[in-house]
């Protein structure tokens, strides 16, 4: 499918944007498509640290939204709740996944309508002052409640 090929190209482009000197790379960023009236979207990605030191991510922002927050989903007494996360530590030579049911990025108040196939720019801010940008495709996922989905 042409659409699928396009998404693959975007993913490759996002990967090649990785800052060689920041020690951090972004793998497979994506944004879950939401109904057009939705003011909140969720984004997921994997942060890969190729450096010898821990890299601390202090924020992830997007010029396509008014605001963004890093969250963590926790289950308390059988109820899923989301807690804001101040920073993410990516271990040296390791990775940290933002995925459904775990850490994720909440994007608030989109500045344009984002349907599947469009892309969102994400900026990863590190505590060393460096930034890394990634292009995340908006993807339609249907079916089960992914907040309770496990691989
Ligand atoms: Cu959240």
| Domain at 28, CATH number | 2.60.40.1890
- In the prediction, which pLDDT does 4 show? 59
Residue 35 is assigned to a structural domain of this protein:
yes
Residue 36 is assigned to a structural domain of this protein:
yes
- In the prediction, which pLDDT does 150 show? 42
Distance 69 CA to ligand 1 centre (A): 8
Distance 100 CA to ligand 1 centre (A): 10
How far is 90 from 96, CA to CA, in rounded Å? 6
Residue 147 is assigned to a structural domain of this protein:
no
Other CB atoms closer than 10 Å to residue 150's CB: what's the count? 8
Other CB atoms closer than 10 Å to residue 46's CB: what's the count? 15
Q: For the chain, what is the domain count?
A: 1
- In the prediction, which pLDDT does 142 show? 78
Distance 135 CA to ligand 1 centre (A): 20
- In the prediction, which pLDDT does 143 show? 59
Greatest distance between any 2 Cα atoms in the chain = 45
Low-confidence ranges of the chain (pLDDT < 50): 14-20, 148-151
Q: What is the DSSP string of 38-104?
A: -SEEEEEEEEEE-SSS-EEEEEEE-TTEEEEEEEEEEEETTEEEEEE-S-EEE-TT-EEEE-TTSEE
- In the prediction, which pLDDT does 128 show? 87
Residue 6, domain extent: 2-135
Residue 24 is assigned to a structural domain of this protein:
yes
Distance 21 CA to ligand 1 centre (A): 30
| Angle, CA 43 vertex, CA 87 and CA 75 arms, to 5° | 70
C-alpha of 133 from chain center: 11
């Amino acid at each position: 499918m042409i659409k699928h090929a396009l998404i693959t190209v975007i993913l490759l482009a996002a990967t090649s944007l990785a800052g060689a000197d920041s020690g951090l790379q972004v793998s497979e960023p994506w944004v879950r498509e939401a109904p057009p009236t939705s003011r909140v979207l969720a984004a997921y990605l994997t942060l890969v640290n190729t450096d010898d030191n821990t890299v601390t991510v202090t924020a992830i922002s997007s010029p396509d939204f008014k605001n963004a927050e890093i969250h963590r989903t926790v289950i308390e007494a059988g109820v899923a709740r989301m807690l804001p996360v101040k920073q993410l530590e990516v271990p040296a030579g390791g990775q940290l996944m933002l995925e459904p049911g775990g850490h994720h990025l909440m994007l608030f108040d989109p500045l344009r309508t984002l349907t599947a196939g469009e892309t969102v720019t994400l900026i990863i801010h590190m505590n060393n002052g460096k930034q890394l940008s990634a292009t995340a495709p908006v993807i339609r996922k249907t079916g089960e409640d992914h907040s309770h989905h496990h691989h």
